[in-house]
Chains A and B, each alone.
Chain A
Amino acid sequence: MSAASTAPVTLTIDGNSVTVPPGTTVIRAAEQAGVFIPRFCDHPLLEPVGVCRQCMVEVSDGTDTKPLQLQPSCTLQVAEGMRVATQITSQRVAAAQAAVLELLLVNHPLDCPECDKGGECPLQNQAMQLSRGQQSRFAGVKRTFEKPISVTPTILLDRERCILCERCTRFAAEISGDTLFAFSGRGARTHLIANPAAGGGYFTGNTVQLCPVGALTSTDYRFHARTFELVSTESTCDGCAAGCQIRNDVKNGTLLRRLAGNDSTHNAGWLCDRGRYGFHSAQGADRLRTPLLRQNGELVAVSWPTALDAAAKGLRGLAGSQVAVIPGGRLTLENAYAYSRFARMVLQTNNIDYRTRASSDEEARFLMRKVTAQPVGYGDLEQARKVVLLCFEPEEESPMVFLRLRRAVRHHGLQVVAVAPFLSAGNRKLAAQLLACSPGNEAQMLAMLSGMIGKDTVVLVGERAASAAGTYKWLADTVAATGAKVAWLPRRPGELAALAAGCLPSLLPGGRLVADTAARTNLLTAWDATSLPTQPGYSLNDIAVAAATGEMRAIITGALDPRDLPNSELVNSALDATFVVSLEVRRSAVTEYADVVFPVAAIEEQSGNFIDWTYARRPVVAAVQRNDVMPDVRVLAALAEALGADLGFQTTAAALESYDSLGYWRYDPATLPAIEVVPTISQVPGNVIFATWRQLLDDARLLDGAAALRATAAPLTAKMSPVTAATHGFSDGAIAQLGAGGARWRGVVQIVPDMVDGVVWVPALSEVTTHGHLSALPGERVILAEGDMR
């Protein structure tokens, strides 16, 4: 074969000349020429199959030596001088398309009035367009099936509506790698079957959106609305830090459905199931609608002025080491900035830490360097030769990054290396090479990794690196020198905004260091403030310790779930011991300790911006308008006012304007405080090393209300190597129990051949009520025992 030419190809479509890259299909070229050729199986993100035969066009090779041929435009590639006639200029093509459409409707039930897809259905739309008012001549018997059948808890299948376009099967094979669907039977009896044993995976909802008819529907949305009742808004998903574009569909003030947006730089038409279905948490009965005030030990609903006064009373006079702010990692940039400025200006404290998860000082130093570092993006993943996954499980922690990696593996031969205790199902779909390593020991692998890393490498490091001492130092010191790109990929959507807004004890907005007088003075002027605290504040752990000693008197919390913290008991007692002002969407564990509770808007009820892992600002647009709740920005502004201070802005837009006016403060990395490695793991007695990470679908509060979604999660097991299992006398399927401190986790043993020895993995915060939740850190020792241990 000669090397494929890259010279552009010129052809004519309906007489208009169009020039496209070689290899383009005629249907795509026609789109560029402004001609829409009807289609069903064709999808720009899936490989062409040419099965529906709807996209027929007339093609001449330009020589006029052969009769014009009808060919499917979705599988046909352009050629120089080719002449294409579509339905617009060829009566024969129009007739052929109308004939195929009539055939496609032969076995279709035409139950549009009761089908979810009605109104947004490619079959319905194109039938209306192409049939020109003619009725089907088919008067025979249609094939029927029992309906609907359950594919997964989130998806139903009405087989008689299916037009066998193979989009869903191709999605499963080409994009997600989860073989959920297949076809059975032949002829008109061919029908889609689902393989429930395959589990389904995290991306099944895409097939519902891809399906050009109403054969696949979401249990969540089925029969809930007609499309014309929906008001749609484009926004950004709050599931993780991937920055996926979504469409929120609202009927009568209720968010009913989320769809994937098409933003080509990001999710390009896909969405994970968590993003798609996990939006019900603010719709439950525990939703906060009025402020609450603790009176005689009980929380009672009070008016806003009463609550603001009470909060101000509790906070007044406290400053510096006596107060702290824990904003959480799920805020928009505007909200995070409001917390940051509130802490510094109103409370005169640097005791602010958004990292409501395991964290370390090593991480904080690393993050200082990240604020203004060169961003890494989705495109870099496709251009890289190698991607190293360090303390990061893409499919669990950033599903869209996973999909992009898989694409790069399939199309560009990307090589993926995972540093992990075993090769997870997700990483197996990336054909990743495993550098097996017990948690906490990652640093020992780094010397070996250093040899594997070069300019064409991207290292993706996840937030779990905070408990793998030495990892961040290695990234900042060694990897930077190789020219490899390093991207930090936290799980939560608000982490990068909180970092940019300076919600850390030694970091101010825009990358300014607390310890840097010039930066501080700059901020003082910009904020028109009288003074700013000069000493770095307490980290989350130190805040809790200070509360235990009585030094800390009051804490303001944003979204905080103590279960996310390794030291949750300490934090709970800190909340117990202090005056707590909680800004929350719903009642939570913190509410039980709170003295004043302010309701805040859920993400779909407010506007603002997330900053995703690529440092891109991703717009959040209010889909639901409410007048009883406000975003955190406005609550904090009101609270500042009640304290006789001025936050500097009242609205989200003004907060963003204020943030943007600050600009970024750039440092030469060499001048930044050196990264010190402090062991984070405590030496507790135990017989195995604990490994864990969060699953995409777990007991997170944001997934409350999405029961069907949660039911799709893969069964959870305690994973261990054959040697570990033998040492402790376990066989596959046995019941094991894991103990750490007072907590217990109980579940089924799964033996994993490629796993490192001496380590047991259990999922974090998953099915907590059945299994129990361990707040031990990965790398710590825990006690493994038989299941009936009490």
Chain B
Amino acid sequence: MNATPLTPILSASWGAPYSWRLETYRGFGGYTGVLRALQLTPDQLIGVVQTSGLRDRDGARFLTSDKWSAALDSGTGVKYLVIDCAESEPNACKDVPLLLASPHLVIEGAIIAAYAIGAHQVFICIRGEALHAVRRVQQGVAEAYRAGYLGERALGVNYRIDITVHAGAGSYIRGEETALLNSLLGRAGRPSSQPPYPVSSGLYGEPTVVSNCETIAALPAIVSQGGEWYAQFGTANSRGTTVYSVSGHVQFPGQFEAPCGTTVRALLEFAGGIREGHKLKFFTAGGLSTPLFTEEQLDMPLPYGSATTAKAVPGGNALQFFDETTSVLRVTRRWMECYAAESCGKCSPCREGSWWLSQLLSGLAEGRGQEGDVERILDICDGISGRAFCPLADGFVGCVTGAIRQFRSEFEVGYRRAANELFPEEQSAVFAWNESVPTAKSGNGGFR
């Protein structure tokens, strides 16, 4: 049996009927954390969060309490809290389920965080395509107003808090905090230069804390049960629990809440292992923006990098497993096309590089590659790496070079033969294979 237990804290109520309703949430002890929080001073509250060791769930994994202190130190003027629910990293799927199942967790967390940093206005920014999640949160916010948890003298305290739900046009890059703020301001969702950092000059030029929605959702439990209680979960570098999303060639894909530092092997076990009759070929951990891993790294604790480096990995808890039927080349080409479509187009290395790379990878995947294309791809990646405006381009460079490093020969076959000849697509499909399902067309850089 699995040595690691599931620890449903954020997901405790997910299975309950009508889990998203206020009364269900209250039944699970909802809105008791916030009442406790409001009895503390902001400094004491930050102290609790510091004790908990909570790290940002989606950014550079800073200590959440550090970010709050910076905001609190920025003075007593207008401040904003912006909750990032853009979640567009392919494979990542934790924010949308969380918002669907338990919107009040995020709303309660938002009140706590806003009070801690001295903000009166909160924006919950959800990707517009997740319309179901947007509706849930809108209804949740309306319920919270009716219940007197929001607005003037919320929860009977002399502190006003308003929440606005914002549905932005979805794109991967819109999850990056400055792009998110631009989108919120009605501009194109493209990143801006930092500094100034949002925490000193963000929305409307005011200090703004941007936090991932899972970071915020962890707060009610931390406040009601205490920082020490929360810190017992996880590892020294990475406290608490987190929602892992597991997908791909596994028996039971889904979300699993477990302590931070859970190993890939344990997560694969939660998902029932690789599908019947197949064996693991490789996996990704941390969305696409990380290299490919194989069997040998199964005992790696996640979130990826949390134990070793502080590298920013959006979607750090998203795992996707691939079995031996999978062509790495075909998968890489799909990913690259995704990046080419998601690049915001602002800076030349990412914009032009993703266009070029997806054409070269398409050529290889269809067996139309030219001798030397693999070196060319690596060289182009070299010319992009570290030159782009935001981390997105480094993400695809890491993904492509990682795949080539591990499975170079599969790419080189593309000089002569299409990937489908070696790895027939229908064998990889987890659903009944349908020939008429359109696949990526070649030669147009992935735009259909």
Contact = CB atoms under 8 A, between A and B. Distances in A.
Contacts of A455: none
B343 A186 contact: yes
Given A106-B355, A140-B359, A141-B445, A183 B389 contact: no
B424 interface: no
B351 A187 contact: yes
B356 A103 contact: yes
A22 to B, nearest CB: 15
A49 B447 contact: no
A190 B188 CA distance: 11
Interface residues of B, number: 37
Contact of B342 (A75, A141, A185, A187): A187
A526 to B, nearest CB: 62
A56 B384 CA distance: 12
Nearest to B187: A182
A82 interface: no
A186 B349 contact: no
A677 interface: no
Contacts of B340: 187-188
A140 B443 CA distance: 7
A183 B345 CA distance: 9
A52 interface: yes
A188 B387 contact: no
A99 interface: yes
A163 B344 contact: no
A52 B347 contact: yes
Interface in A84-117: 95-96, 98-100, 102-104, 106-107
B388 interface: yes
A188 B355 contact: yes
A790 interface: no
B352 interface: yes
Contacts of A48: 193
B343 A188 contact: yes
A190 B351 contact: yes
Residue from B352, B387, B445 having most chain A Cβ neighbours under 10 A:
B352
A140 B356 contact: yes
Contacts of B171: 186
A107 B356 CA distance: 9
Contact of A188 (B193, B345, B376): B345
A70 interface: yes
A53 interface: yes
Contacts of B384: 99, 103
A164 B387 contact: no
A186 B387 contact: no
Nearest to A40: B348
Contacts of A53: 347-349, 387-389
Given A52-B347, A137-B376, A143 B193 contact: no
B349 A75 contact: no
Given A70-B387, A141-B445, A106 B344 contact: no
Contacts of B382: 99
Contacts of B344: 186-187, 190
B360 interface: yes
Contacts of B443: 140-141
A100 B387 contact: yes
Interface in A51-101: 51-54, 56, 70, 75, 95-96, 98-100
Given A50-B389, A137-B376, A141-B359, A187 B343 contact: yes
A188 B352 contact: yes
Interface string B44-55: 000000000000
A428 interface: no
Nearest to A98: B383
Given A50-B193, A51-B346, A188 B351 contact: yes
A480 B193 CA distance: 47
A53 B346 CA distance: 10
A666 interface: no
B348 A163 contact: yes
Of A102, A137, A140, most buried by chain B (CB within 10 Å of CB) is A140
B356 A56 contact: no
Contacts of B447: 187, 189
A485 to B, nearest CB: 33
Nearest to B169: A186
Nearest to A164: B345
Contacts of A223: none
A164 B346 contact: yes
A53 B352 CA distance: 12
A347 to B, nearest CB: 65
Interface in B377-424: 380, 382-384, 386-389
Most buried by A among B341, B342, B445: B445
Contacts of A187: 340-345, 351, 354-355, 447
Contact of B345 (A52, A103, A186): A186
A138 interface: yes
Interface string B229-269: 00000000000000000000000000000000000000000
A706 B76 CA distance: 57
Contacts of B348: 51-54, 100, 103-104, 163-164
A51 B171 CA distance: 19
Interface string B102-119: 000000000000000000
A49 B345 contact: no
B220 interface: no
A100 B383 contact: yes
A189 B360 CA distance: 18
B199 to A, nearest CB: 14
A185 B356 contact: no
Contacts of B227: none
A772 to B, nearest CB: 43
Nearest to B445: A188
A99 B349 CA distance: 9
A320 B183 CA distance: 74
B188 A183 contact: yes
B353 interface: yes
B392 to A, nearest CB: 11
B225 interface: no
B184 to A, nearest CB: 17
B444 interface: yes
| A48, A75, A98, A138: residue with the most chain B Cβ atoms closer than 10 Å | A138
A400 to B, nearest CB: 30
Nearest to B370: A139
B4 to A, nearest CB: 37
Nearest to A95: B383
Contacts of B353: 103, 106
Contacts of A183: 188, 345
A100 B345 contact: no
B351 A102 contact: no
Contacts of A100: 348-349, 383, 387
A158 B448 CA distance: 23
A96 B342 contact: no
A99 B387 CA distance: 10
Contacts of A188: 340, 343, 345, 351-352, 354-355, 445
Contacts of B363: 140
28 contacts: A49-B193, A50-B347, A51-B346, A51-B347, A52-B347, A52-B348, A53-B349, A53-B388, A53-B389, A75-B193, A96-B383, A98-B383, A100-B383, A103-B384, A106-B352, A139-B370, A140-B359, A141-B359, A141-B443, A164-B351, A182-B188, A187-B340, A187-B342, A187-B343, A187-B447, A188-B351, A189-B345, A190-B345
Interface of A: 48-54, 56, 70, 75, 95-96, 98-100, 102-104, 106-107, 137-141, 143, 163-164, 182-183, 185-190
9 tightest CB-CB pairs across the interface, nearest first?
A: A99-B383, A190-B345, A188-B355, A140-B359, A103-B352, A187-B343, A106-B352, A186-B345, A51-B347
Given A95-B383, A182-B188, 18 more contacts: A50-B347, A51-B389, A52-B348, A75-B193, A96-B383, A98-B383, A103-B348, A103-B380, A103-B383, A103-B384, A104-B348, A106-B352, A106-B356, A140-B443, A187-B342, A188-B345, A188-B355, A189-B447
